[in-house]
Structure formats: structure tokens, C-alpha cells
Amino acid sequence: MNIYITYEKNFFTENQIKDLSKYGKLIFLENYFNLEEADYLKDNEDKILMADPEWYKWNLRKEHISKISNLKAICINTTAFDWIDWQYCKDNGIIVTHTPKYSTDSVAEYAVFLLMCLAKKLPIQIKTNYKMEYNHEMLNTEIKGKTVGIIGLGTIGTRVAALCDNLGMNVIYWSKSKKENNYKKVEIDEIFKNADYIIPTFATNDETRKIITDDRIKMMEGNSLINIIINPIEIYNHELVLERAEKNEISYAFEIYDDKTLNDYKGNVMATAPYSFYTKESIDRLVALWCSNTISILNNNTQNIVWK
């Protein structure tokens, strides 16, 4: 069995490499490559692909997967799996596993960090080169007593709720089902009308892409939208939100997935590189789970398969 790993070797511990090596030959593909020239396309041995999305520009489709001979499984190192053609894999007997819950704390903390950035007008401070002006534009906000509306109270949403609750905020949420907690479940429209801060934490799929509509964005008056789930262009009208932020009608925080910088956005808009998941602790958990998933397949006890 050959195990191809599209990731940097130095993120793996010696013990992890040793454990994986018991089951097959490890082949690290540490540098980005042309898909048509991938080493594993020339290999007719049984193989598992441990795939990182950056090597595939977040788009691993059947056109490429079908060219990989004797492929037994693809183990991806992300929670989201919509970037891989898992239905093709399922139909063709190729196991696909993912890595849920490895970055819960880091992503939740980042959401609160972005919330604080908007409340304290950090984007405007940066864009004005920290010029000290005591005017209305620079007037900060205290978050204690403010309302945060969380859309989708899963693992990350629950952690965001706990952090905000501990900061003295009022937490409301919308989810498909009532959760066992002390927070108030409301209709989605109430969140967009009344919450001071709105944080979507749902998984991205065809159903959830319909949640944040233009009409709901237009309901917002003076509140803030904080997106830490995925490329905003894929889940709502990003340009409409930016337009409203430029008019100082709302504030907005998100992670950048293109070549723009913070200075390209007007208003109280905080735009950062996509680092919400990227802490030492979460990457350590990620690699450990990634290895564990791979070994579980080789032991015929597969865990974290995506279509269960």
C-alpha cells in the first residue's frame, strides 16, 4: 500500500510517521504540483491519498479522481467536504474521511476576536494609521449587554455562544432544532433585525446557501455581520454587505480569499487572511486525527467517513 500525503512532512511527529509506515510506504508531496503530472497517476499500486485542499485549489473532482488507479481511499484534512466529489467516490467504492471538530476552539475564538475588532473600530484605526481623533466615526462600543445572534448552533456555534455569554452578552440563536441550553431560540429574521452582532456558524451546503438572503441583509440596521465559516462569496451577496458597510450602515468582518487587502474596503470592515483555524493546537489535533482516520481504514475500522 502506498500512502501519498499532500502536506509538509515537518507537521507530522516521528511517532505519527512511524505508525503510518507500518501500513505502507509514505510518499510526501510537499510542493504544489500540476494535477496532470501528479506522481500517484503513474503508480499502479494500491494507494490511499491523504489530501490537503490547497494542493487542489479546493476543488477535487471526479475528472481527476477517476485517473488515479487502485485508489482505495481519500482522507481529507478539513471538516468541510464539499470541495471533493465524495458522491463519485461513494459510487465507485472509494472511502472518503474528513476531520471534524479539530478547530472548534480556534475558530470560535477568532469569531470573538473579529467581533471585538468591529466593536473597537480596529479596521478604521489601521486604515487611518492610528490617527487619534475623538469623533463619532471612532466612537467604540462596549459589548457587555449587547445581543449576539448565532445562526446554526452546532459545535462551533455552541462554543461561540459560551464565549460571548461569558463576556456578558445576550445570546440568541437559530438552528433547525431546539438545543438543550439556556439561550433563546428565535426565527432567523429576528436575528437580522435585532441582534447587534450576527455570526453564521453553519456547515455550507445547498440548503444553508439560501439562509442569508438579500432581503435579510437589507434588514440589518447598525449591526455587524461576522463570517468565519467559508468564502463569503459562496454563501451570500458579499458585494451587497460591502456596499452597506461602505455607507456606514453596518459593520462587517470576514476572511479574504482573493488578492485584496484591508485597505481595499471602506467603512468599519475587518478583513483578514483565512487564519481562523490556524493555531498550533488545532493543527496538532488535525494531523493526529488525519493519521488516525487513515490508520482506521487500513485496520478495516473506518472512522469519520463523510456520508454517514
Which CATH number covers residue 294? 3.40.50.720
In a domain, 188, yes or no: yes
In a domain, 308, yes or no: no
64/177 Cα distance (integer angstroms): 38
Q: Is the pLDDT of residue 103 over 80?
A: yes
Residues 114 and 255 placed together within one structural domain of the fold: yes
Residues 164 and 92 placed together within one structural domain of the fold: no
Residues 40 and 178 placed together within one structural domain of the fold: no
Q: What percent of the chain has pLDDT over 70?
A: 100
Q: Is the pLDDT of residue 98 over 90?
A: yes
In a domain, 202, yes or no: yes
Residues 202 and 112 placed together within one structural domain of the fold: yes
Residues 19 and 91 placed together within one structural domain of the fold: yes
| Total structural domains within the chain | 2
Long-range contacts of 94-98 (CB under 8 A, 24+ apart): 94/65, 95/297, 95/302, 95/305, 96/305, 96/306, 96/307, 97/73, 97/293, 97/294, 97/296, 97/297, 97/302, 97/303, 97/304, 97/305, 97/306, 98/293, 98/304, 98/306
Q: What is the pLDDT of residue 15?
A: 97
Residue 84, judged by CB atoms within 10 A of its CB (0-12, 13-18, 19+), counts as buried
Q: What percent of the chain has pLDDT over 90?
A: 87
Domain that holds residue 226: 104-272
Residues 217 and 250 placed together within one structural domain of the fold: yes
In a domain, 205, yes or no: yes
Strand spans (E) along the chain = 2-5, 25-28, 47-51, 71-76, 95-97, 147-151, 170-174, 184-185, 197-200, 224-226, 251-255, 269-272
Residues 47 and 66 placed together within one structural domain of the fold: yes
In a domain, 174, yes or no: yes
In a domain, 307, yes or no: no
Residues 109 and 98 placed together within one structural domain of the fold: no
Residues 115 and 259 placed together within one structural domain of the fold: yes
Q: What is the pLDDT of residue 308?
A: 61
Residues 88 and 208 placed together within one structural domain of the fold: no
pTM over 0.95: no
Residues 23 and 93 placed together within one structural domain of the fold: yes
3-state helix, strand and coil shares in percent for the chain, rounded to the nearest 5: 40, 15, 45
Residues 82 and 126 placed together within one structural domain of the fold: no
Q: Is the pLDDT of residue 229 over 80?
A: no
Give the residue with greater pLDDT, 271 vs 180: 271
In a domain, 199, yes or no: yes
In a domain, 266, yes or no: yes
Give Cβ neighbours of residue 22 (< 8 Å, ≥ 6 apart).
none
Confidence of residue 301 (pLDDT cuts 50, 70, 90): very high
